[in-house]
Structure 1
Amino acid sequence: MSAQFSAPLPESTPRDRSLFRVNPMSYIVIAIFLLAIAWPATAYPLALGWLVLLPIAFAWWVARTSTRLDDEGVHLSTWRSRRSVPWDEVKGVMFPKNGFARLVTTDEASLPMGGVSFHDLPRLSRASGGRIRDPYSATTPGDD
């Protein structure tokens, strides 16, 4: 009698494979930034006290920026707005040199996909149910 084996997931693998977020390690950078700002802001509070708002704004951006894929379409969330794009309006995905991936719609609009980078392409393809293809995955003989 043998037990069914399932490979363990790496700790960095998210539980929700259809949700893409900014790397949570960014919060460590925010904490270090806050510590670096603390000394000048407390030494000169009237002149430099406003600097404390910078890490707060960055934390707001990290917390709000995400992309979720489901059967209805792609749901994009940025620091100031949320938008849903149905699958019939999705033309493709573009990967610029800097920044996150961009969703290209049928009307040629380019929308930022927060938390999605080039190395997420295989996971993006699986989460979209094949609607977004991974050109580097192994193709089967019947695929064209």
Structure 2
Amino acid sequence: MRRLELIVVDIDLAAVVVPYVTAAVAAYGSAIAQRVQDGAVDATTDGTARLGRRLLNRILRRGESEPAIAAAVQDVADRPDDADRVAALRSQIRKAIEADTVLAADVATLLGTDGATIDASGNRATAMYQNTGIVQTGDRSTAWQDRD
């Protein structure tokens, strides 16, 4: 007898945002607060850091949470390898996103997730937001993909 399962995954936007923001912090250092508001795009900065700058710019425009997030960003800029500081930044971003549905929608749009919910149901079901390779389930299955 087969057993069906339903798995629902709500994307934690804060957890998705933080790697981009920390990439921006790594790229811009302690000047991140000034660079976020600067509309000019630095051609030498990679796409991850540029998206992080755009995300942080939008998040900091939420006035109520700006001081706490700016302080957390500065803490990460001072010690980027400190996991506790990164966790504190994630917590502040999560609070801002949970308190403001417009901000959450804007962040999701910037990320390209549009608040996606990913569902998988059935025996050996798989679920993902984005994939560029083979996904397969089953006994004795084989697959091959040519990557040019």
- TM-score over 0.5 (shorter chain): no
TM-score (ref. length: structure 2): 0.22
Q: Which has the higher helix share?
A: 2
TM-score (ref. length: structure 1): 0.22
Larger RCO, structures 1/2 (Cα 8 Å, 6+ apart):
2
Larger Rg: 1
